[in-house]
Amino acid sequence: MLRRICALLAAAGLVSGASAFSAQRPPTIAAAANLSFALTEIANRFKSERGTAVQVVFGASGTLTRQIEEGAPFELFLAADEVFPNQLTAAGLTRDAGVVYALGRLVIFAPTGSPLSVDAGLDGLARLVKSGGSGKFAIANPDVAPYGKASEAVLRKRGLWDSIRPQLVLGDSISQAAQFATTGNTVGGLIAYSIVLGPGFADGGKYAVIPEGDYPPLRQRMVMLKRAGPTAEQFYNFVTSDTARAIFKKFGYGVPPA
Q: Are 97 and 223 in contact (CB under 8 A)?
A: yes
Which residues, 6 or more positions from 186, have their beta carbon under 8 angstroms from its beta carbon?
A: 111, 135, 136, 137, 138, 169, 180
CATH architecture for residues 2-103+218-250: 3-Layer(aba) Sandwich (3.40)
Q: Cα separation of 44 and 220, whole Å?
A: 21
In the prediction, which pLDDT does 24 show? 66
Which bin fits 121, alpha (ψ -120 to 50), beta or left (φ > 0)?
alpha
Task: Map the chain to HEC letters.
Answer: CHHHHHHHHHHCCCCCCCCCCCCCCCCEEEEEHHHHHHHHHHHHHHHHHHCCCCEEEEECHHHHHHHHHCCCCCCEEECCCCHHHHHHHHCCCECCCCEEEEEECEEEEEECCCCCCCCCCCHHHHHHHHHCCCCCEEEECCCCCHHHHHHHHHHHHCCCHHHHHHHEEEECCHHHHHHHHHCCCCCEEEEEHHHHCCCCCHHHEEEEECCHHHCCCEEEEEEEECCCCHHHHHHHHHHCCHHHHHHHHHCCCECCCC
- Do the first three CATH levels of 2-103+218-250 and 106-209 match, i.e. the same topology? yes
In the prediction, which pLDDT does 257 show? 84
Per-residue pLDDT of the chain (258 residues; tens, 9 = 90+): 334 434 433 443 333 333 343 446 899 999 999 999 999 999 999 999 999 999 999 999 999 999 999 999 999 999 999 999 999 999 999 999 999 999 999 999 999 999 999 999 999 999 999 998 668 999 999 999 999 999 999 999 999 999 999 999 999 999 999 999 998 789 999 999 999 999 878 788 999 999 999 999 999 999 999 999 999 999 999 999 999 999 999 999 999 987
In the prediction, which pLDDT does 158 show? 97
Instruction: State pTM to two decimals.
Output: 0.88
- In this structure, which topology does domain 106-209 adopt according to CATH? D-Maltodextrin-Binding Protein; domain 2 (3.40.190)
In the prediction, which pLDDT does 4 show? 41
Q: Are 231 and 109 in contact (CB under 8 A)?
A: no
Q: Cα separation of 162 and 238, whole Å?
A: 43
Q: Where are the domains of the chain?
A: 2-103+218-250, 106-209
181 closest CA partner among 166, 167, 163? 167
